[in-house]
Amino acid sequence: FFFFFFSRANNSVLPLSLWKMALRKFFGYLNEFKTEGVLGAVKKLYFYDTLKVGTLVGQDQFGNKYYESKEELLGRDRWVELARGERNYDATQIPPEWHAWMHHIHELKGDDFKANSLSPTYKLDHIPNQTGTQRAYLPHLHLLKRRDEQLAAERDQEWDPSRD
């Protein structure tokens, strides 16, 4: 741990401000291990390739948790932990209200955005991308759609004892 803080080029020690920042991160990681447990912290490290420490800002209707840390660089200071904990996460799993907050388009968080009447009343609920699922959109003459219709037609035919 301490090898990181010494520079080999001129054998100097890092300034006190960097020590404080590094120790704050180190104790933040320890707190993460304490709150999430070893397995939970390793799971986060596997899914997100990093352990980040920040304050919980809010949660959306899908259960995604949104965090913010003022110590991180701009653009890396806000992040989301997906509710399902999938490795194949997708940008469409984040509702538009939270997407705008995460990318610093505005400072209104997801619930504040809806309550502030900036969201139109006719807007439909957010649905993540359905590609690759049974609910995926297929055009009218798509091969997979025709095959599904043919299978359904064969499956739904009446039983004829003379055909056996």
- Check: pTM over 0.85? Answer yes or no: no
Bigger pLDDT: 147 or 40? Answer: 40
Bigger pLDDT: 42 or 155? Answer: 42
pLDDT tens track for 91-145: 888 888 888 889 988 888 877 766 566 667 777 777 888 887 878 887 777 777 7
**pLDDT for position 1:** 47
DSSP bridge partners of 41: none
End-to-end Cα spacing for the chain: 76
With CA atoms as reference, report the closest residue to 109 among 148, 64, 142. Answer: 64
**pLDDT for position 136:** 83
Mean pLDDT rounded to a whole number for the chain: 76
Name the 3-class secondary structure at 132: coil
